[in-house]
Amino acid sequence: MQPILVAYATTEGQTRKVAEFIAERLRIRGHRVDLVDLATPAAQGIGSAYQAAFIGGSVHQHKHQSALVHFVKSNRDWLASLPVALFSVSLAAAMDDMDSRLEARRLANEFLDESGLKPLEVRCVAGALKYTQYDYFKRLIMRMIAQQRGGSTDTEHDHEYTNWNDVEAFVDEFLAAAHVPGSRPVKG
């Protein structure tokens, strides 16, 4: 059976954590996985021999990483021939109000329009506030945004909003929708 590709772009590391979690869940289900950070040279060597792909990135100032857009544009033809799942990590997806949820989906749709990707499934994944990793100005800006949106303003600590049960459900929904063969049932 051909492997499943999990390719991602990250700025502060939360999307890497999500991608690693997806890869681990796929392996538990019996799949071979290629996990690739699109900012590394390994991204140049990604071929077309996959049965499915998870593609993900995060939102900064209303945009996904240019490495993600570049990867999708340069590999559009073979990506169009297999089932693809997009995961878009953002702070907007972490908030409970409807406006934020719609904003997260709008940002994902803008990425799809720009890149031309046509995924079978899209998931907006709640990200993290990594105050301890930000420089002074980033911390100030993110604290202000968090205050407006209802996120934590405690800059002494990092805050993870990712719902791991939701990410796991996303993996299973995609495998079922894509009719990916060979998935082992997971007990418990």
Ligand X SMILES: Cc1cc2nc3c(=O)[nH]c(=O)nc-3n(C[C@H](O)[C@H](O)[C@H](O)COP(=O)(O)O)c2cc1C
Contacts with ligand X, residue ranges (CB under 6 A):
10-15, 58-62, 89-92, 127-129, 138, 142
3-state secondary structure of 128: strand
- Compute the least distance from the CB of residue 58 to ligand X, in Å: 3
Q: Is residue 14 classed as helix, strand or coil in its secondary structure?
A: helix
Least Å distance, CB 140 to ligand X, is 11
Measured from the CB atom, the residue of 152 and 183 that comes closer to ligand X is: 152
Contacts 24+ apart (CB under 8 A), 73-76: 73/115, 73/116, 75/46, 75/48, 76/115, 76/116, 76/117
Residue 101 vs 120, nearer CB to ligand X: 101
- Residue with Cβ nearer ligand X (85 or 175): 85
Q: Which residue is nearest to ligand X (CB)?
A: 127
In the complex, the smallest distance separating the C-beta of residue 183 from ligand X, rounded to whole angstroms, is 27
What residues form DSSP beta bridges with 39? none
Give min distance, CB of 27 to ligand X, in A: 21
Q: Which is nearer to ligand X, 29 or 130 (CB)?
A: 130
Least Å from the CB of residue 14 to ligand X: 3
Q: Residue 124, exposed/middle/buried by CB under 10 A (0-12, 13-18, 19+)? A: buried
Helix or strand or coil: residue 10? coil
Whichever of 59 and 180 has its CB closer to ligand X, that residue is 59
For residue 71, give both structure tokens. 């990867």
